[in-house]
């Protein structure tokens, strides 16, 4: 094994340790929360109807569907609003962590390959 190859192998292991320690637990918690919240809201909102109504309300204009969704959100109960906000937050955090993992992996790989 040449030193560069070994360096890459070590860094892959280090990345694995970092991912399992700092990102994987967060991702698991966020996904569990997401599933629980989605389960809560699924009992109260009939997703198929929401999608159907959104398409009908849009009339080919995506901005209208956005206005429809906003109006629906404003008119819904406080409990549903809270759950929807929590779902959105969960989704943003999950995407942030996935993005961070990918960026770190790319940075390590680039450093291994190009020696930057």
Partner 1 sequence: MSSEHHSDEEILKLSIRDPEYFGIIVERYEMPFLKKAFDVMRNKTEAEDIVQETFTKIYLNAGRFRKQENASFKSWAYRILMNTAFTHYQKAKKSIGRTEYIDAVGYDTDAVVAPSHDVASIADAKVQVAEIIAKMPEHLGRLLKLYYLDDMSYHDIAKQENIPLSTLKMRLFRAKRIFKKMSY
Q: Which of 52, 62, 107, 114 binds partner 1 (CB under 8 A)?
A: 107
- Residue 113 interacting with partner 1 (CB under 8 A): no
**3-18 and 78-114 helices cross at what angle (nearest 10)?**
170
Cα separation, 28 vs 5, in Å, equals 32
In this complex, which beta carbon is closest to partner 1, that of residue 52 or of residue 96?
Answer: 96
Among 13-21, 33-41, 42-50, 66-74, which window interacts with partner 1 (CB under 8 A)? 13-21
| 21-40: contacts with partner 1 (CB under 8 A) | 22
| Among the listed residues 10, 47, 91, 102, the single contact to partner 1 using CB under 8 A | 10
CA distances, 79 to each of 57, 66, 73, 103, 109 (Å): 25, 21, 11, 36, 45
């Amino acid at each position: 094994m040449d030193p560069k190859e070994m360096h890459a192998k070590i860094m892959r292991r280090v990345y694995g340790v970092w991912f399992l320690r700092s990102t994987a637990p967060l991702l698991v918690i966020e996904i569990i929360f997401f599933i629980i919240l989605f389960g809560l809201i699924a009992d109260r909102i009939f997703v198929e109807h929401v999608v159907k109504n959104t398409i009908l309300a849009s009339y080919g204009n995506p901005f209208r569907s956005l206005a429809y969704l906003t109006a629906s959100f404003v008119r819904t109960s406080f409990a549903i609003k809270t759950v929807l906000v929590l779902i959105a937050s969960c989704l943003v955090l999950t995407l942030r962590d996935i993005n961070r993992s990918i960026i770190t992996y790319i940075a390590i790989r680039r450093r291994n390959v190009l020696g930057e």
